[in-house]
C-alpha cells in the first residue's frame, strides 16, 4: 500500500509533464503556419499580385489607405469642390504639369487613387491637410493638391498614380 501510494504522485507528475511538453510542441507547430501565412511568398511579392478594393464604404469627402506591393495607396472619394479645384488650375502653371483628367478615370471623376509616398524623400503625406485640399507631407512641408499634384515645397513630382482599373462602379483592381 505504502509503495503504491507513493508511486501514484510520481506517475501523475510524469503524465502532467509529458502532456505539457506535447502542448508546447503543438503550440510551436500551430504558430509557424500562422506566421508563415502572414507573409506572401517571394514569388507572390515579385509578381505584385493585384488587389481588389470595394469603394462602396468610402463616403464623399473621405479616403482609405490600402497596401499594394508594400506601398500605401490612398483612395479618395473627392467632393465636387475638390474636383473643381483640381480642374480649374492651369496645367502649365504646375511644377509637374499633369491634368486631373490624366490622373483619374473617365466617368469616375470623384475617385483619386495615388501612391502615398512623398516624391521628396519618401515620407507618407497626410490626406485632407495642407493649403490645397489634398495632402500635406509633414517631413519637409510639401503640399499636394486634390489631384495629388505637387504645388508647394521640396517634392519634385506629383504623387504617382498606380496602375488600376474599375471592374465595376464600386470596385477597382490595383495592379
Ligand atoms: S519627404 Fe515629404 S517633404 Fe520631404
Taking Cα atoms as reference points, which of 140, 143, 94 lies closest to residue 121? 140
Q: Is the CB of 139 under 6 A from ligand 1?
A: yes
Is the pLDDT at 15 greater than 90, yes or no?
A: no
Q: Closest ligand 1 atom, CA of 141?
A: 3
Ligand 1 centre to CA of 120 (Å) is 5
**Catalytic residue of the set 108, 120, 128, 140:** 140
Q: Is the CB of 142 under 6 A from ligand 1?
A: yes
Tell me which of 25-34, 109-118, 148-157 is least confident. 25-34
Q: Is 140 a catalytic residue?
A: yes
Count of Cβ atoms closer than 10 Å to residue 42 Cβ:
8
Per-residue pLDDT, 48:
75
Q: What is the mean pLDDT of residues 137-150?
A: 98
Per-residue pLDDT, 16:
44
More confident residue, 17 or 58: 58
Q: Which of the four pLDDT bands, split at 50, 70 and 90, describes residue 99?
A: very high
Q: What is the value of pTM for the model shown?
A: 0.75
Per-residue pLDDT, 32:
41
Ligand 1 centre to CA of 118 (Å) is 6
Are 174 and 51 in contact by the 8 Å Cβ rule? The answer is yes
Is the pLDDT at 41 greater than 70, yes or no?
A: no
Per-residue pLDDT, 44:
58
Is the pLDDT at 38 greater than 50, yes or no?
A: no
Per-residue pLDDT, 83:
98
Q: What is the mean pLDDT of residues 124-130?
A: 97
Q: Alpha-carbon torsion 83, 87, 88, 91, what sign?
A: positive
Taking Cα atoms as reference points, which of 104, 142, 100, 147 lies closest to residue 125? 142
Q: What is the mean pLDDT of residues 25-51?
A: 52
Count of Cβ atoms closer than 10 Å to residue 78 Cβ:
24
Taking Cα atoms as reference points, which of 59, 96, 97, 88 lies closest to residue 75? 59
Amino acid at each position: 500500500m505504502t509503495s503504491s501510494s507513493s508511486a501514484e504522485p510520481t506517475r501523475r507528475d510524469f503524465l502532467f509533464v509529458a502532456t505539457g511538453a506535447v502542448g508546447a510542441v503543438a503550440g510551436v507547430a500551430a504558430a509557424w503556419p500562422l506566421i508563415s501565412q502572414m507573409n506572401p511568398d517571394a514569388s507572390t511579392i515579385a509578381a505584385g499580385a493585384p488587389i481588389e478594393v470595394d469603394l462602396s464604404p468610402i463616403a464623399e469627402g473621405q479616403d482609405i489607405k490600402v497596401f499594394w506591393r508594400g506601398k500605401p495607396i490612398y483612395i479618395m472619394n473627392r467632393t465636387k469642390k475638390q474636383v473643381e479645384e483640381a480642374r480649374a488650375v492651369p496645367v502649365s502653371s504646375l511644377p509637374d504639369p499633369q491634368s486631373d483628367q490624366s490622373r483619374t478615370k473617365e466617368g469616375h471623376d470623384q475617385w483619386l487613387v495615388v501612391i502615398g509616398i512623398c516624391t521628396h524623400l519618401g515620407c507618407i503625406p497626410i490626406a485632407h491637410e495642407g493649403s490645397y485640399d489634398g495632402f500635406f507631407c509633414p517631413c519637409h512641408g510639401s503640399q499636394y493638391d486634390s489631384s495629388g499634384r505637387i504645388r508647394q515645397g521640396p517634392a519634385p513630382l506629383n504623387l504617382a498614380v498606380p496602375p488600376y482599373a474599375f471592374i465595376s462602379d464600386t470596385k477597382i483592381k490595383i495592379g
